[in-house]
Structure 1
Amino acid sequence: MNFIKERLDKLQFSPKKLTEYLLVVGSATTIYLFVGLRGILYEPFRMQLGSTNAQLGILMSVSGFIQIFGYLLFGWVQERMNVRKLLTFDMLGYGLTGMFIAFSKGLSFPVAIMCFVLFGIFGDAMYWPTIQKSVKYIGGKTAQARAFGTMESLRAIGGFIVNSLDVILYSALTGISGMIWGIKGAMIFNSGITLLFALLIWFKMPKDFMQEKTNDVPSSANKTKIGIKGVVKALKLPVVWLTGLSAACAYVSYVGVSTYFVPYLQNTFSMSASLVAIFGIVNGTAVNALSAFLSGLISDKLFKNSAVWMSICYLLMSIFIFVTLMIPKRKSLVIIAMIFLLLTTLSCFLIRAVYYSPIGEYGVPTDISSTAMSIASFVGYSPSFFAYPIFGNIIDSNNSVTAYNIIFTVLIVFSILGIIINLFNSKVISRKKDIKSFN
């Protein structure tokens, strides 16, 4: 607890800002708990949905499709929406959809698709750009990377606690009533937390959060013109596109890290389900908590430019994935494989903690910040549309060793692209800072 307090103190927020920050972070932590079960209980999660690996990939891609196109559709609209109402609405929708899946018996694939459409709407398209803008707003001009990095760490700590309880609950219910009741119990538990936090947001978040007081109230027609001009203005910024492309490379890696490392160990090294679940908790949350705190601090203090820091992290990740690819698939070497998988995850989360920080560091104007974030998010999260079904189909169409060799090779390619893109982005940010200093 002292460690968390120390990190929060370094953000140097006022009591009001700290409360707002914790509410935003808590919202981002609890809304994804249901789908996050795939990272620790992949096979039971897939079986409750009644899907193959490829079908689960399709479900995730459906959510991703809604997500990335929703960013463009809702981006400038979110500039004018009440944050408190929006977050509450999204969390209620997400939690209730999770409850529906948990209580379902023999879920048909078309119904599952509709549920993941709702996940895409409630959890991403109408939600995530608002979270990003909120953290950017609270972080101000001097604590962008630390604010985003601390958020990822707190999310990881919360996820670690809930995931640990999920495994305990799953194991207990599985021992009593079987695997399906075990995963149902974990799903109900996680969805319930999301619904409870929706109420906390409604009753505790300030009603006027992020609403600037002004005597000039533009008409709806003027708002539309301003919104369209904002989109055009944001589209012209190179930092928006480079940040989005860098995030896309990271997201491909994140798909592999968060979804396929667990079945890789289970299917390739014949690990037991209980040991795989423990690895999943460490891989998905404990490593994230450590890396996110470190990433924001290192980026702000040592580099002053998150793009430079990310290029280094991409280099490390490509090395760790390559070593993992070369490890012989023997049970006696599973510990070594786990170490390099965790190092890969560490590198990925170091990037993920700050991958949208360049937009704040560049100094994108506040009036188009949600639009800029939405465009960058559209590009950055676009792999969610294609990576899941491609990886799932690779697994279903090949033996385990061949399938994961292909997946890891893809991850290496995207890591190298990430290095190149961030080197370009660092020059864009530095050039803008030099112009500001000169003026």
Structure 2
Amino acid sequence: MTWRDLTRARRWGLLMLVSAGSSIIFYIPSLRRVFPDQMMDALGLNNEQVGILMAAYGITSMICYVPSGILADKVRMRTLSWVGYIATAVLLYVYALLPSFGVLMVLMIGLGVTTILIWWGTRLKLVRLLFDESEYPSRIGWSYLFFALGGLLVGNVIATLLLNHTGTDTAGHQAFLRYLLLSVATIILVMGVLAFLFIPRFDNEFDPNAKRLSLSEFVAALKNPAVVWASLTMLFSYFAYTSITYTTQWLQIGAIGVGAVMIANIGNVRSYGMGVFSGPIAGAITKRVGSTSKVVMGGFALAVVGLLTFVLLPWNTSMAVPFIVLTLALGFVCTGVFYVTTGQLTEARVPTQTFGAAAGIVSLVGFLPDTFRDIWFGRMIDQANLADGGNTGDAFRTIWWIVIAACVLGAFCAFMMLRVCARTGLPHRVEDDVDGRAVGDAFGVPHSPLDRQHVAALLVARED
């Protein structure tokens, strides 16, 4: 069976299923980004312990990244999709019991396996299988729109309703987290059933001539200075992009005092809503400027200005609204920088024969912050709480200085990429990036929060 054998309604229905599902399935593993205080109180954890849970998921994801691509080339999309959905739902039902820290560690590792190793490889490949190749650029754009809507449904509708109907004490936070987990698990379970019933067995799922990456290609890629600087630029851009999520906790400290429901809406709009616009706008700017690295440098400069505003302006309740606006603006800038960073490999004309290896290196290096960021920042916040009785202002001020340093280093790496391009004597052509296939998404349509998996997929898709 091919896409021509499917009705239009079925193809679009499956597009919505896999796209919305790809934000909902990752919502709970990233819960700290929106509901850190509720999560800690309900589970009886501190910031560092939550950071350890996030790191457990991040490390598992890193380990599962490469084999997930191999699995996607060996197993039917239908099987990976429904098994990934249902296995994730089962783990979330166990999570809803609000178990001990040890059990939570096992659950986070398990979620890394079900969401990354099993499920992750299905989304972009399934979108390609559902439509003619010439339709892919526009359909992947619709896919990211459904992605954002799925995240907003869970975050701004379900979570907000639960916040409004549960208390603010520990019992209320436990009720909130339990019902949120049960709601998300049930939605994912239903998606698993729909995937089992409606995703067909496509005739062209497996490419018998698919090329596997070799060790020599990785060595050749590592010797390319463009790959080194692109990897470091990705690392700092991803570090800044994900560190901005700590504005959720910062805005709630007593000096600023933004309420829980407002914080939830800010977190979800920052994570999902901003991406709907930042990706296309950053793409349009990149196309006009003609250089990914120049746009990345400009984005980092704007981020530094915004973060300095956080550090230097007085922290009081009268500044709550300006800080909320700045938080959303900073989320917009950092999201745009993160997604256009994926175009640096084509900017430097990395050879096709080593592009896949280069993409893998950029992904592995770029997403390393997931293995240490939350433990590091969580420990800082906990130590500040112990030192000053709960006023964590000093910890966040230090965090913002760290992120400023990351932005400066990221801008330096982007500048070095420009020098590499100048030395090669190969001027960058934006049309090479926006070539009508998946890499074009890196400039025109990728606007999801999540993050690591989708950017890696865009990079790898470039060699297809």
> Shorter-chain TM-score category?
0.7 to 0.9
CA deviation vs aligned residue, 1:63-122 (integer Å, no higher than 9, x gap): 1122223335555565545444334433333232122101x14x1111111111112222
8 A Cα contact 2:20 2:151, kept in partner: no
Instruction: Using the TM superposition, name which of 273-282 and 55-64 deviates more.
Output: 273-282
Give how far 1:153 is off. 5.0
Given residue 352 of structure 1, which amino acid in structure 2 is its aligned partner?
F
CA deviation vs aligned residue, 1:183-235 (integer Å, no higher than 9, x gap): 21112112222333334444444533873555x6x9xxxx87x6545545554
Give yes or no for the alignment of 1:115 onto 2:96.
no
The aligned residue for residue 319 of structure 1 is: 305
The aligned residue for residue 293 of structure 2 is: 307
Instruction: Using the TM superposition, name which of 62-71 and 365-374 deviates more.
Output: 365-374
Q: From the superposition, tell whether residues 165 and 152 of structure 1 become closer, same or farther in structure 2 (CA, over 3 Å).
A: same
CA deviation vs aligned residue, 1:370-409 (integer Å, no higher than 9, x gap): 6544332211111010000000011011141110011000
Given residue 409 of structure 1, which amino acid in structure 2 is its aligned partner?
W
The aligned residue for residue 264 of structure 1 is: 250
Instruction: Using the TM superposition, name which of 348-357 and 226-235 deviates more.
Output: 226-235
Instruction: Using the TM superposition, name which of 358-367 and 408-417 deviates more.
Output: 358-367
SS in structure 2 of the partner of residue 328 of structure 1: coil
Instruction: Using the TM superposition, name which of 419-428 and 154-163 deviates more.
Output: 419-428
- TM-score norm. by structure 2 comes to 0.75
Give yes or no for the alignment of 1:174 onto 2:166.
yes
The aligned residue for residue 202 of structure 2 is: 208
Give yes or no for the alignment of 1:124 onto 2:122.
no
For residues 312 and 94 of structure 2, the distance between their equivalents in structure 1, rounded to whole angstroms, comes to 43
The partner residue of 2:150 within 144, 158, 164 is 158
Q: How does 1:5-154 map to 2 (within 5 A)?
A: 24-72=18-66, 78-102=72-96, 104-105=97-98, 107-125=99-117, 127-128=119-120, 152-154=144-146
The partner residue of 2:182 within 180, 188, 192 is 188
For residues 424 and 133 of structure 1, the distance between their equivalents in structure 2, rounded to whole angstroms, comes to 34
Given residue 279 of structure 1, which amino acid in structure 2 is its aligned partner?
I
Equivalenced residue count is 412
Give how far 1:134 is off. 7.1
Q: From the superposition, tell whether residues 139 and 31 of structure 1 become closer, same or farther in structure 2 (CA, over 3 Å).
A: farther
Given residue 33 of structure 1, which amino acid in structure 2 is its aligned partner?
Y
Give how far 1:181 is off. 1.4
For residues 87 and 242 of structure 1, the distance between their equivalents in structure 2, rounded to whole angstroms, comes to 35
For residues 348 and 244 of structure 1, the distance between their equivalents in structure 2, rounded to whole angstroms, comes to 17
SS in structure 2 of the partner of residue 45 of structure 1: helix
For residues 427 and 85 of structure 1, the distance between their equivalents in structure 2, rounded to whole angstroms, comes to 46
The aligned residue for residue 253 of structure 1 is: 240
Give yes or no for the alignment of 1:407 onto 2:399.
yes
SS in structure 2 of the partner of residue 356 of structure 1: helix
For residues 187 and 276 of structure 1, the distance between their equivalents in structure 2, rounded to whole angstroms, comes to 19
The partner residue of 1:382 within 355, 368, 371 is 368
Q: From the superposition, tell whether residues 74 and 161 of structure 1 become closer, same or farther in structure 2 (CA, over 3 Å).
A: closer
For residues 203 and 347 of structure 2, the distance between their equivalents in structure 1, rounded to whole angstroms, comes to 23
CA deviation vs aligned residue, 1:336-365 (integer Å, no higher than 9, x gap): 222222221111111233333444666778
The partner residue of 2:263 within 261, 276, 286 is 276
The aligned residue for residue 378 of structure 2 is: 392
Given residue 307 of structure 1, which amino acid in structure 2 is its aligned partner?
S
Q: From the superposition, tell whether residues 171 and 27 of structure 1 become closer, same or farther in structure 2 (CA, over 3 Å).
A: closer
SS in structure 2 of the partner of residue 313 of structure 1: helix
Q: From the superposition, tell whether residues 350 and 256 of structure 1 become closer, same or farther in structure 2 (CA, over 3 Å).
A: same
Q: CA RMSD in A?
A: 3.9
SS in structure 1 of the partner of residue 201 of structure 2: coil
Given residue 256 of structure 1, which amino acid in structure 2 is its aligned partner?
S
Q: How does 1:362-381 map to 2 (within 5 A)?
A: 372-381=358-367
The sequence identity of aligned pairs, in percent, is 22
For residues 217 and 72 of structure 2, the distance between their equivalents in structure 1, rounded to whole angstroms, comes to 12
Given residue 251 of structure 1, which amino acid in structure 2 is its aligned partner?
Y
For residues 83 and 17 of structure 2, the distance between their equivalents in structure 1, rounded to whole angstroms, comes to 15
Instruction: Using the TM superposition, name which of 236-245 and 179-188 deviates more.
Output: 236-245
For residues 295 and 108 of structure 2, the distance between their equivalents in structure 1, rounded to whole angstroms, comes to 34
For residues 127 and 88 of structure 1, the distance between their equivalents in structure 2, rounded to whole angstroms, comes to 8
Given residue 265 of structure 1, which amino acid in structure 2 is its aligned partner?
L
For residues 307 and 37 of structure 1, the distance between their equivalents in structure 2, rounded to whole angstroms, comes to 32
Give how far 1:325 is off. 1.1
CA deviation vs aligned residue, 1:233-286 (integer Å, no higher than 9, x gap): 55455554433322221222233222x211111114122222322322332222
More helix by share: 1
Q: From the superposition, tell whether residues 135 and 315 of structure 1 become closer, same or farther in structure 2 (CA, over 3 Å).
A: farther
Q: From the superposition, tell whether residues 372 and 141 of structure 1 become closer, same or farther in structure 2 (CA, over 3 Å).
A: farther
The aligned residue for residue 198 of structure 1 is: 192
Instruction: Using the TM superposition, name which of 269-278 and 389-398 deviates more.
Output: 269-278
8 A Cα contact 2:51 2:375, kept in partner: yes
Give how far 1:311 is off. 2.2
For residues 346 and 90 of structure 2, the distance between their equivalents in structure 1, rounded to whole angstroms, comes to 34
- TM-score norm. by structure 1 comes to 0.79
The aligned residue for residue 425 of structure 1 is: 417
